[in-house]
Amino acid sequence: MNIGDYKEYISAETMMGPNSVRILAELFDRYPLQLAPDDRILDLGCGTGLTSLVIAKETGAKVFANDLWVSAEENGRRFVEWGVGELITPVCEDANDLHFEKNQFRALISIDSYHYFAGSKGFFQEKILPFMKDDGVVLIGIPGLKDEYTGRAKELLSDWLGEDAYMFKSPKLWKEIIGSSNRIESVNTWEMDCFSKAWDDWLAANNEFALGDRQYFDTVIKPYTCFVGIYIRLKQAL
């Protein structure tokens, strides 16, 4: 995947944190998706739809772009402006109460959002798995805590994140949280390589939230945090 193909879409207005396109690119490069045009992908927590645009263009599959904070109408207008309105269906629902048809998604992708709503054991099995097809794939990229600091999120990150510090978990802990199921073939978690570049793009943006993050980058964000990559492969139907 060539990130340069999406340079014109990446801006202070479309980014809602460290560059989601870089995070998505690492996931795609590490675990390429082989999908058909009639396959369906759920982009869970899509924000302004930047990741949905990339997913649609890179895979050619049908994308459902779901976000709780950005309305379907707003994202729908953006998708039409970007020329991908026919490929992407905008949705605005809570990840804890999704209303999609069961067993319809060949892939689920979640960039910089899964940690907000899925940090408890059993969430994946109860809230995500029912909507996935057999032999499906889940790709997640989220901010987290480096493995050596497991269990110290509140102590290390509270000045920066306040009460939200608990959301940051290590790759090893995320693997435990995802858990197991008779439908899950494998779960892999790792510390992603795109951390520095994704953060550099965000901190260079003229965005009020980026300006707030700058003061904590060298003292908190860089030494203690990482991006956690999560790959989940589901079993084929018997």
Question: What's the pLDDT tens digit per position in 7-65?
Answer: 999 998 999 999 999 999 999 999 999 899 999 999 999 999 999 999 999 999 999 99
Cα→Cα distances 35→51, 105, 133, 205, Å: 17, 11, 13, 34
Q: Which CATH superfamily is domain 3-234 in?
A: Vaccinia Virus protein VP39 (3.40.50.150)
- Nearest 10 degrees: Cα torsion 209, 211, 216, 222: 90
Residue in the structure block whose two tokens are 């992908």: 41
What pairing do the DSSP bridges indicate for beta strands 132-145 and 88-91?
Answer: unpaired
Residue in the structure block whose two tokens are 């989601």: 20
pLDDT at 206 over 90: no
The structural domains of the chain, with segments of one domain joined by +, span: 3-234
Which residues partner with 65 through β-bridges? 43, 90
pLDDT at 208 over 80: yes
Closest C-alpha among 50, 62, 60 to residue 25: 50
Global pTM exceeds 0.85: yes
* Structure confidence at residue 237 as a pLDDT band (50, 70, 90): confident
- What pLDDT does residue 201 have? 96
Structure tokens at 145: 């805590």
CA distance 82 to 75: 10
